[in-house]
Amino acid sequence: MMPVDRFGAIETHGLVRLAAATPEASVADVGTNAKAILQLARQAAGQGADIILFPELCLSSYAIDDLHLQDALLDRVEAEIGRLVHASADLPVLLVGAPVRRNGRLYNAALVIAGGRLLGVVPKSYLPNYREYYEKRWFAPGAGLTGLNIDLAGYRAPFGPDLIFAAGNRADFIFHVEICEDYWAPLPPSTFGALAGALILCNLSASNIIVGKARDRDLLSAAQSMRCIAAYAYSAAGYGESTTDMAWDGQAMVHEMGDMLAQSARFGDAPEIIYADIDAQRLRLERMRNGTFNDTAEAMGHPEQRFRRVTFEAAAVGDREGLFRPVRRFPFVPADPLQLDADCYEAFNIQVEGLVTRFRATAGKHFIIGVSGGLDSTHALIVAAKACDWLGLPRSAILGYTMPGFATGEHTKANAWRLMNALGVKGAEIDIRPTARQMLADMDHPFAKGEAVYDVTFENVQAGLRTDYLFRLANRNGGFVVGTGDLSELALGWCTYGVGDHMSHYAVNSGVPKTLIQYLIRWCIATNQFDAETDAILQAIVDQEISPELVPADATGAMQSTESRVGPYALNDFFLHHIVRWGQPPSKVAFLAWHAWRDVEAGAWPSGYPDEAKLSYDLPTIRHWLDNFLYRFFTISQFKRSAIPNGPKVSGGGALSPRGDWRAPSDGGASVWLDELSDRMGPGAKSE
């Protein structure tokens, strides 16, 4: 297998390493400021940064008022610009704020410098001139200036807010630049930059600090990155600016589609750089999915026609250690501790509301559910219990059936009964073994002759009979069958087609992956959704190994393990999220999974997730199960997803309903995805 350091370079996976710097300012000391900029740029280069963002007017410093109109200062600015350009040959792309003269006017501008070139100069479009701001006293606005050039420090470069910068040697490394007040405007210039193709939006800011303003900046940056399906990088002036009338906190942050990737400490008295690996490929893929984005571009007259695209060659970087972005081990599970309870509340109640609405739309009197004592049926049952509470029905409106088969364990069956009794469900037991034996005998199956043959027929006879009983019990009792199968099983095809656990009258778990079901049950316990007796049973169920219990235990007493057959659900849900939701290539999914799972400290998992889930997987293990996932997902299971019953979408991480998120041919194959993985990582073991 190709070593991870050869397949794992971030530039080969559509990732752009951005640095946002807060240098120590020296008031009107242009030479000192230039040295500070270069020092941080070299430091960022050492960390493998592709681009480094500095604050607004950092070359001159921001709070120098009428000194901006002094030729001595502006001459020195131009001289230092020349030195910065000359020194940039082996540095990241530099975004530096400076006052620049053009045609008898002075502009508050961003200099874009790379590879020994002045790529462009972007003037600030909107100048604040209210309360503490007096920028129109010194600067001319850049709004509306298009198609212009500037001669600056011995270089000729495009000038105007109509510029987008794109690396000719790095796909998706495309960025736009705006300055401070621009993104406080009702229609920021970066909106048009995004519509014209920029994936990374950069803001050079000074922005003095007052109480509450940091939250406002964070809100604007997050919202702009989400609305524009982009990354938004922001760097504000900090320590060293004049505090004659204002103070500075040096806030820097990077958002990607609303999520914070990195943020600085504030009010520091030393220079600081933050780093973020922006997934520009993911942003491009999401724009392809989001038709509204293109519709907006069309409604705006396709802004790309009004922008000039400046190309450059991104500097080569050495091996980059680590990854400067959080990679969640459990992408379907709420991760923000501050939002954890609210997100779980929403997920659980989406299921409850869906079930309530479907129940009201039928003439049924009962919920019919098979209760195995396993994870999925447990979750479906507690959702149904809450639905009864919502509807004002006694929980005896739920008819729960435990249906032991040839491998049903006494422990799980006991848990099923304990749970039904604790919830006040009307329970019953139907032993399916006599009927299963008769069916196997009718088919001349070896098991009926006393042979220990536990093949797929043996398994599916049991699964099919259980569902067949449930449908007929629904007919008999005036009810409908609540499905228990989950999103992870649909992805893997780990369900019995037709009259099996694949089918129900309403698949309440079909939008919930296994990892989220585990966490929602834990959330129910933590938030006292039920009584203490029920909580103890739920904890016992969520702690047990996942098993279909269709094959008897082996000679050692080991029970059938689902995850030994299809792989750890933690990895499968990770693969599902990144491949189905984002459309990312398998080699990149392996790269991200390795960063998330290579050691206990590497990945981000939700607060409160149990210690036993804090595992690690090496690259060969990840590769093995990714091969298996790709084969199962693309080759053998789509026909099942094409015929699934109704069920509510729960997570923004993706769903598989053919009426909603996922439409695909049932007779497709996995060769394209397996080949991509093999081409990038070398041949893998044969998939199961």
Annotated binding site for deamido-NAD(+): which residue ranges? 460, 489, 494-497, 640
Distance CA 23, CA 21 (A): 6
Distance CA 463, CA 485 (A): 12
Q: Is the Cβ–Cβ distance between 96 and 85 less than 8 Å? A: no
In 330-339, which positions are buried (b, 16+ CB within 10 angstroms) versus exposed (e)?
bbbbbbeeee
DSSP for 162-215, please give it. -EEEEETTSTT-EEEEEEGGGGGSSS-HHHHHHHTT-SEEEEE------TTHHH
Contacts of 151 (CB under 8 A, 6+ apart): none
Both tokens of residue 77?
Answer: 């600015």
DSSP for 652-674, please give it. TT----TTTT----TT--SHHHH
Residue 586: Cβ within 10 Å count: 26
- Which listed residue (58, 180, 388, 524) is catalytic? 180
Is 124 one of the catalytic residues?
yes
Q: Is the Cβ–Cβ distance between 613 and 605 less than 8 Å? A: yes
- Which listed residue (80, 124, 388, 459) is catalytic? 124
DSSP code of residue 328: B
- Which listed residue (56, 241, 272, 286) is catalytic? 56
Distance CA 108, CA 142 (A): 9
Would you list which residues are annotated within the binding site for L-glutamine? Answer: 130, 207, 213
Is 228 one of the catalytic residues?
no
Distance CA 658, CA 642 (A): 6
Which phi-psi region, left, alpha or beta, contains residue 654 (left: φ > 0; alpha: ψ -120 to 50)?
left
Is 80 one of the catalytic residues?
no
Residue 682's closest CA among 632, 627, 618?
627
- What phi and psi values does residue 117 have, to the nearest 5 degrees? -125, 145
Would you list which residues are annotated within the binding site for ATP? Answer: 370-377, 484
Largest CA distance in the chain: 101
DSSP code of residue 316: P
Would you list which residues are annotated within the binding site? Answer: 130, 207, 213, 370-377, 460, 484, 489, 494-497, 640
Tokens 């920028």 — which residue? 135
Q: What is the set of active-site residues?
A: 56, 124, 180
